[in-house]
Amino acid sequence: MRFTVQAGDVEIDLEGASIQIDEQIAQLKAEHTWTVLLERIREAREQALEAAVTAAREAGLPERGSAFRALLENCALTRKPDQVLGAIHYLRNVEGIEDSPPRVVNDLFNDAGIDPPGNLSLYLNRLKERNFLEVPSGKEDKNRFAILTPEGQAHLDKRSGA
């Protein structure tokens, strides 16, 4: 069996039986070589993400506000409750944000040039009553952690004609 990893100037090349490789990795961890290797990988990942964001901007890909506005327009979400549902979908599924206090939701609306919802809690609670949103267990029933239910996703899909 052979195990080879190279990240920048750090290279690990191990060969032998599985137990021998495990012992060699343990030794590398003790010498902190493994930690250095992981740090190089993290740095490379961060540089790749930064390069991707820069390339997207230079290519003229839509920024946050226009992407959210396009979602609302494509799904014909003109009513404020539907727009709030769309915002939660966008934050969770597009941006990968799990914690969205009112400021984050309002910023998304502002970035899109759309009036933000006034009383966000009211909209979120009504969407929960319609079973379009739920708060995962362990999140103390805080609306900032709300996610779309299958019914909420189906509602958006129906609006977009998907």
The count of other CB atoms within 10 Å of the CB of residue 140 is 8
Residue ranges covered by each domain of the chain: 2-58, 64-160
C-alpha–C-alpha distance, residues 22 and 123, integer Å: 54
pLDDT in tens, 135-148: 988 888 788 899 99
CATH architecture of residue range(s) 64-160: Orthogonal Bundle (1.10)
- Residues 150-156 have a mean pLDDT of 89
Q: What is the mean pLDDT of residues 21-46?
A: 84
Helices within 7-149 (DSSP H only)? 18-30, 33-58, 64-74, 80-89, 102-111, 120-129
Mean pLDDT to the nearest integer, 2-29: 88
The residues, any chain, with a CB within 8 Å of residue 13's CB and separated by 6 or more, are: 2, 3, 4
